[in-house]
Amino acid sequence: MKIDRAKIAHISLLKPENRTENPTTLTETAAGFPPFTRGLHPRMYLQRPWTIRQYAGFSTAEESNAFYKKNLAGGQKGLSVAFDLPTHRGYDSDHPLAKADVGKAGVAIDTVEDMKQLFQDIPLDKMSVSMTMNGAVIPILAFYIVAAEEQGTALHTLKGTIQNDILKEFLVRNTYIYPPKASLNLISHIFQYTSQNMPAFNSISISGYHMQEAGATAAQELGYTLANGLEYVKLGLKAGLDIDEFAPRLSFFWGIGMDFFTEIAKLRAARTLWASLMKEFNPKNKKSLMLRTHCQTSGWSLAAQDPFNNITRTNIEAMAAVLGGTQSLHTNALDEAIALPTDFSAEIARNTQIHLQKETDLCRMVDPFAGSLIVEEKTTTLIEKAWDIIKEIDREGGMQKLIENGTIKTNIEKAATEKQARIDSGKDLIIGVNSFKDPLEPPLDLLEIDNEQIIKSQTEKLKRIKASRDERAVTHALDQISKLASRSFSDFEMDRIKGNLQWKPEENLLSLAVIAARKRATLGEISAALEKEYGRHQASQHIFSGVYSKLIHKDKTYISAQKKAAAFLQANGRRPRILLAKIGQDGHDRGIKIVATSLADMGFDVDLGPLFQTAEGVAKQAVENDVHLIGISSLAGGHKTIIKDLHNSLKKQGATSINIVMGGIIPEKDKKELIDSGACAFYGPGSRMTETALSLLDILLE
Amino acid sequence: MSKKGFTSHGFESVSPKAWKQQIQFELTGADYNTSVITHRQEGIKVKPFYTSEDLLTSSPTHKSAQAATPQGNINDFLISFEVYANHSDMANKKALWCVEKGCDKIIFLVQESIEHPEKLLANIPIDIHINLILQKPSSQQIENFSSYLNRVGNPRWQCSTDPISHFLIHGKWWKSEIEDGKLLEELIEKLPGGILTIDSRICHSAGAHMSLQLAHAMSHFTSYAIQLSEKNTLSKIKEVHFQLHTGNDFLMEISKLKALDLLWASVCQSLHISIPYVLCVEGAAIDKTLYTNNTNTIRNSTQLLSGVIAGAQEILCTPYDRIHKKSHAYSDRLAINQALILKHECHFENIKDPLSGSYAVERLSYELAEKALEIYQKTEAKGGLIAGMLRHEIQRDMQSQYQKTLEKFQKGDAVLIGANYLAKHEPLSLEKYPFIKKQHNKTLVPPLVPKRYAMEWEQKIQRDSHENR
C-alpha cells in the first residue's frame, strides 16, 4: 500500500501506557515534607546543588593545604580531610608503631600547629570542613577548635562534620583505639560540647559507606547504619540532651556502588526509614526527622587494571547519588584503587561532579525517577528489608551487643566472600579485571609519598614544639583528662537522673582536650591520657568456612586448587599452612578475610593474625606455628617498610625459609625492591582467589 | 520500637499544590515561573517536580514501549563500532580488533573503493552483527554486496545505504535525488529482509533541539517510506535503524528517546505500517571539548547511560578524543570499555523499561513527542525534509536553534568545562583540524554543518597561547 503525505496531517499522538498500579504510596509525599522520600528540600538542587566535597589529604599539612587550595580554585566547594593511619590510631608521627604509615594514606597531624597549617589561608568560618576521624576524635576535634580560635574564628560559625562514628569502626574499618563502651562515652562528650558551642557543626556522620566497601549488601548497609544511628540517638538522650538539640546535627554517609537503580532507591529508602524511626522520639523540630547525607562513590568498584575505565564507573555512581538526592558528594579519582590521587586524577574526579552539576539537567528537577515502577519497587523492598534488620537487632539486644559478639561483622564478611566467589567464577563481570583484560595498558603516573622525609620533618616539628611549650601546664592538662576519663559514664547518668544537666566544661573531655591542645599537647599525648584509663581495644579474628565454596565448587580452577592442596597434604603429611597478617596501623581487613576464608575452603590451614601487628610479632607467630607461607596484606602504602622489617625479623629468628607473599595495593614499580627485601609473589586487586591458591601451591611445591 | 512491619508511620500525604505553595513561600517573592521552571527551546516548560497527577491517563494508549520490537532487558544492547572501510584488509583488521575488545556489532562505512565485501568480512564470527552502510553506492557494488550477503544468508549481516543523510551533510546528492533513490530501491529489491538506516545524528550536531531532531528523523524515514511504497518494496524492510545522538541533558535525553517510541508507534499506526525499529545511540559531538578532553569520557558515559535507560538496542562507541585525533587503539578501547561497563557492571540484567511510570519522564516524553509531531506534520505538509532543505528552511531553523543555545553559553547560563568554564590551555598534538572546515565543493543547498559549542572559546585559548609564546 502507498504512503500518502496527506495522511500525516491526521496522525494523532498515542499516549504512554496508562500505569495506575503504583506499588507504593510513598511518593504521595513531597520533597521537604516528612518522611522525605522524595528529598529533604522542596526544590532540592534548584535551591542549592549538592556540595562537591573531595576527601583528600596526604603527606604533611603543608602539602595537603596546597592541594586543598588548588582544588578549591578548581571548583570544589567543601573540604574533607583524610588523616593518616597513625593519627587515626592516636600515635604521633615519631612513635615506633607509626613508622610504616606516617603520611601515607592521609595527612599526618601531631599538634595544633599541624592543624593550623592544614587550614592556612582557608577561613574556617566560611569553609565547610568534614573530618574523617573516629579513634582519635577527641584530640583532632580539639586541634580543629583551637586552630579556629587562633585563626580568629568564633566557634559558633564553624560548619562541617566530624565522622565520629565509632560503632562502624568495630564492624568494618578498624581505626578504633578504645573499647566500644569507652568510645561511646567520648561521643556523648562531643555531643554535649558541640551542641553547646558549635551549633552549626555536625557532631557525627553515621557511615554505611565503610560497610558497603567491606562487602555489605544495600539492605545490610541501610539496616546496620540506621541501627547505629539509633544507638547514637539513645546516647545523646542519655547524655541529657533533648532530641531536638542534637538530632538535626546528625548526618549520614553512604557508599554508592554500581547497582544504579538500587543505589537511587537506597537513598530514598534511607530518608523514609530514618524519619519514621525518629518520629518515635517525638521531636518538635522537623529537622530532627531529616536524614542528611554525604555520599562517596565506591572505592571497591574501582579497578587497578585499566584505570581510565574508572572514570565511567565513578560517573555512573555519582549520578545515582545525585538522583537519590544526596547533600554532598565525593567522587573517586581514577587511580584511587592504587594510590592517592594526583593533581591530574583529582581534576577528573572533580570535573565529574562539575559536569553533573553544571553541564547536565540533573539539578533542574526534584527526584526525577519518582513513579518509575522499578525505582519505587526497589525503594519499598529496601525499606522492608532494612526494617526487618533493624527489628532483628532490637530483638537481639541492640547494636552494641551484636558488635561485641561479632555477629554483624561476620554477616558483612560473608556477603563480601559471596561477592568474591561470584567474581572469581565469572558470574559477575568486571571489565579489565576478569574480562576484556588488556595486557598493554599504559602505566599511570602515581603519587609517591616519601615517608622517611615526612617522619623526619614531623619529628623535628614535634621536638620544636615540645621544647617551647610549658611542660608543667601540658602535664596538668593531660592529668585532668585522665582524671575525668576515670569517672565512669554512669556518674554522668546519675547527674542526668538528678536533673543536673548544666553544661560544665570541666566535666567534658573535649573541653579538657581543647585546653591541652592550647598548651600544645600532642595527639599522641592526649590519646595516651585517655588510653591510660580506657585501655586499647584488640579485636578477635574469626574465619568462617563454606561460603566461598558454596558458590564456586563447580569451577574448574577451584577444583584443581583443591586437588593440588590435597596432593600437598598427601606428600607432606600436613596441609599447606599460611599465616595471613597485617602489619602497622592499616586496618582494612576485607581483603585478608576473603583470602583467609577462601584459602581455607580450598584446603589450606590458615592462621589469621590480629590487626595492627609489628613485624617482630608476625615473624614470631610464623615460627611458632611453623607455617609454610606468610601472606601480608598492605592497602595503605606502607609495604616497603613492612616487608623490609618482616624479612629482618625472620632473619633474626633464623626462619628465612618461610616465603613471604603480598596482597593489596602494590605499585608495579615497587615490586623489584620488595623482591630484593624478601617478598616472592604479589596478588593485587582483581586477583582470583582460585588462581592465587594455585600459585601459592606452586611456590610451595617449587 | 514498633514490632510490626514498616509503615510510613502516619505521615500525611502532601498534595502537589501544597508542595508548589511551599516552594513559592521559600522563593520569598521571586517568580516561580522564572526561578524554578526551565523554559526549553522546544516550547516545553520543565517543572521542578512531577507527581502522579502528571501521568496521562486518557486513551488511546501505546502499550508496547517499542512498536513490534520485543522488549528485553536494558543491558541486552549491542555494542557497536563504526569502521571506515576504504581498504578491505585494513578495515577487516580493525573490525576483528573491535570484536576482540568486546563489540557485538560493526558498522562498516563502505566507500566506493570496496567493490566486494568478502575480504571485509573475512574471519568475522557469524554471531557478530554487521551493517555495511554503502557511502556512495554503484549498481555494481550493490550487486556484489547483495549477492554475497544472500549467499551467506546470515540474518545478522546487513547492508544499507542512506542517501538522504549524505544529502543533509553534504548539501548535494551522489548523482541526483532520483538516481540516488533508485540505488536505494535497487538495494532493497536485491536484499529482501534488509534494513533502512536513518542516520539522524547530524540534526543534533547542527544544533537542532530535541523535538526538531525527532521530527526530522520521522521525515527522513517518511521520504524513504513514500518512495519505497510507490515501488511496493516498503514491505521488504525488516527493520528501521535510527541513529541518534544524545547530549548532556540526561533526563531530557531519556525523554527524547522515549518520545521517539511514542512517535514511531503513532506514525506506524496511522500509516498502517508495521516495521520494528532499532534505536542506536551515540554520545553527542556538539558538546564535546578539545581542552580538558578527559571530560569527554565523563560526558559520553552520561550520554550513553541515557540511551541505555531509554532502552536503546545499540550503543555506538566513540572515543573521547575524536575531535582532534585519528582513530587509535587506546581511546577506541576505552570507548568500547564504557559500553561494556554499562552492559555488565551496572546490574541492568533484569531491568526492563525502568522509567515506565516515571512521572517526569513519561510526561516530558509525551510533550516532546507532541511538539515533534507538530513540526513533522508542518514539514510534511510543505513537501517533506528534502523540500525543506531546498528552501533552506531546515538549515535556518537549526542554525537559529544552535545560535540560541550558544548564547546561553556566552551568557554563562550554560556551562562546558574546558570551554567557558575552567578553561586552560593544554599542549595537544592535532591530528585532525578540530574546527569547522570550509566546504569548497559546489553544493546544491547549504549542508547541515556539524558544530561544537566550545569552538569559539577553544579558538580564543589557541590565540591567547600563540600570543603568550
Query: Once rounded to an integer, what is the mean pLDDT over residues A657-668?
Result: 92
**Is the backbone of residue B414 left (phi > 0), alpha (psi -120 to 50) or beta?**
beta
Known active-site residue A95: no
d(C-alpha B446, C-alpha B439), whole Å: 10
d(C-alpha A474, C-alpha A459), whole Å: 19
Nearest CA in chain B to A372: B358
pLDDT value at position B6?
A: 66
d(C-alpha A254, C-alpha A206), whole Å: 9
The secondary structure of B296-363 as a DSSP string is: HHHHHHHHHHHHHHTT-SEEE---TTTTT----HHHHHHHHHHHHHHHHTS--TT--STTTT-HHHHH
Q: Which residue of A13, A259, A261 is in closest CB contact with B262?
A: A13
Residue pair A176/A487 in contact (Cβ under 8 Å)? The answer is no
SS3 per residue for A552-604: HCCCHHHHHHHHHHHHHHHHHCCCCEEEEECECCCCCCHHHHHHHHHHHHCCC
d(C-alpha B258, C-alpha B262), whole Å: 7
pLDDT value at position A697?
A: 96
Q: Hey, are the CB atoms on B51 and A309 less than 8 Å from each other?
A: no
pLDDT value at position B58?
A: 54
Query: Once rounded to an integer, what is the mean pLDDT over residues A173-182?
Result: 93
Contacts of A228 (CB under 8 A, 6+ apart): A165, A167, A168, A206, A399
| B6 contacts on A by Cβ (under 8 Å) | 273, 276, 383-384, 387
pLDDT value at position A20?
A: 53
Give the start-to-end residue ranges of the domains of chain B. Answer: 74-367
Interface residue B296 vs chain A (CB under 8 A): no
Interface residue B397 vs chain A (CB under 8 A): no
Active-site residue (options: A104, A588, A628, A644): A588
| A422 contacts on B by Cβ (under 8 Å) | none
Output the CA–CA distances (angstroms, integers) from residue A200 to A129, A154, A196, in the order listed. 11, 11, 10
Percent of chain A predicted with pLDDT > 70: 96
Known active-site residue A55: yes
d(C-alpha B165, C-alpha B220), whole Å: 8
Residue pair A602/A594 in contact (Cβ under 8 Å)? The answer is no
d(C-alpha A614, C-alpha A592), whole Å: 17
Does pLDDT of B398 surpass 70? Answer: yes
| Least confident interval from B69-78, B357-366, B385-394 | B69-78
Q: Hey, are the CB atoms on B302 and A431 less than 8 Å from each other?
A: no
All three cell numbers of A332, joined, read 573517586
Known active-site residue A114: no
The secondary structure of A207-252 as a DSSP string is: ESHHHHHTT--HHHHHHHHHHHHHHHHHHHHHTT--HHHHGGGEEE
Interface residue B6 vs chain A (CB under 8 A): yes
Burial of B467 (C-beta count, 10 Å sphere; 0-12/13-18/19+): exposed
Does pLDDT of A238 surpass 90? Answer: no
Q: Hey, are the CB atoms on A16 and B365 less than 8 Å from each other?
A: yes
Percent of chain B predicted with pLDDT > 70: 95
Q: Which of A19, A40, A22, A38 is nearest to A30 (CA)?
A: A38
pLDDT value at position B65?
A: 39
Interface residue B192 vs chain A (CB under 8 A): no
pLDDT value at position A591?
A: 92
Which CATH superfamily includes the segment(s) B74-367?
Answer: Methylmalonyl-CoA mutase (3.20.20.240)
Q: Which of A179, A117, A114 is nearest to A140 (CA)?
A: A114
DSSP state of A441: P
Query: Model confidence over A104-142: pLDDT tens digits?
Result: 989 999 999 999 999 999 999 999 999 999 999 999 999
d(C-alpha A239, C-alpha A203), whole Å: 14
| Of the options 1.10.3720.10, 3.40.50.1950, 3.40.50.280, 3.90.1150.10, the CATH number for the domain spanning A547-701 | 3.40.50.280
Give the pLDDT band of residue B60 (cuts 50, 70, 90): low
Could you give the ipTM of this predicted complex?
0.97
Give the pLDDT band of residue B66 (cuts 50, 70, 90): very low
| Largest pairwise CA distance in chain A | 102
pLDDT value at position B96?
A: 98
Q: Hey, are the CB atoms on B1 and A391 less than 8 Å from each other?
A: yes
Provide CATH code, domain A43-405.
3.20.20.240
Say which amino acid occupies B453.
Answer: Y
More confident residue, A490 or B11: B11
d(C-alpha A358, C-alpha A379), whole Å: 28
Question: Rounded to the nearest 5°, which phi and psi values hold at B278?
Answer: -115, 130
Q: Which of B88, B100, B85, B183 is nearest to B142 (CA)?
A: B183
Do A547-701 and A43-405 have the same topology in CATH? no
All three cell numbers of A48, joined, read 542549592
Strands A605-608 and A577-581: parallel
Query: Chain A neighbours among B 214-233 (CB < 8 Å)?
Result: 222, 225-226, 229-230
Give the pLDDT band of residue B10 (cuts 50, 70, 90): confident
Strands B277-283 and B237-246: parallel
Strands B38-39 and A659-664: unpaired
Does pLDDT of B313 surpass 80? Answer: yes
Q: Which residue has the cell 565513578?
A: A314
Query: Once rounded to an integer, what is the mean pLDDT over residues A525-537?
Result: 96
Q: Which residue of A312, A348, A365 is in closest CB contact with B360?
A: A365
Distance from the B272 Cα atom to the nearest Cα atom in chain A, whole angstroms: 9
Mark A116-155 as b/e (b = at least 16 C-beta within 10 Å).
bbbbeeeebeebbbbbbbbbbbbbbbbbbbbbbbeeebeb
Say which amino acid occupies B394.
Answer: I
Q: Collapsing DSSP states into helix, strand and coil, what is residue B364?
A: helix
Q: Hey, are the CB atoms on B298 and A348 less than 8 Å from each other?
A: yes
pLDDT value at position B9?
A: 63
| Least confident interval from A33-47, A237-251, B54-68, B369-383 | B54-68
Query: Model confidence over B223-258: pLDDT tens digits?
Result: 999 999 999 999 999 999 999 999 999 999 999 999
Query: Chain A neighbours among B 316-345 (CB < 8 Å)?
Result: 330, 333-334, 337-338, 340-342, 344-345
Residue pair B302/B93 in contact (Cβ under 8 Å)? The answer is no
| A308 contacts on B by Cβ (under 8 Å) | 297, 334
Give the start-to-end residue ranges of the domains of chain A. Answer: 43-405, 547-701
> What's the N-to-C CA distance of chain B in angstroms?
71
pLDDT value at position A487?
A: 81
Does pLDDT of B64 surpass 50? Answer: no
Interface residue A359 vs chain B (CB under 8 A): yes
Output the CA–CA distances (angstroms, integers) from residue A522 to A93, A96, A109, A115, A508, in the order listed. 10, 16, 9, 11, 19
pLDDT value at position A15?
A: 84
Distance from the A348 Cα atom to the nearest Cα atom in chain B, whole angstroms: 7
pLDDT value at position A446?
A: 84
Interface residue A433 vs chain B (CB under 8 A): no
Question: Rounded to the nearest 5°, which phi and psi values hold at A207?
Answer: -110, 125
DSSP state of B448: P
Query: Once rounded to an integer, what is the mean pLDDT over residues B159-176?
Result: 97
Query: Model confidence over B100-137: pLDDT tens digits?
Result: 999 999 999 999 999 999 999 999 999 999 999 999 99
Contacts of B391 (CB under 8 A, 6+ apart): B382
All three cell numbers of A1, joined, read 500500500
Q: How far is CA A148 from the centre of its chain?
A: 26
Known active-site residue A683: no
**Alpha helix segments (H runs only) across A303-405:** 309-324, 343-354, 373-395, 399-404
Does pLDDT of A18 surpass 80? Answer: no
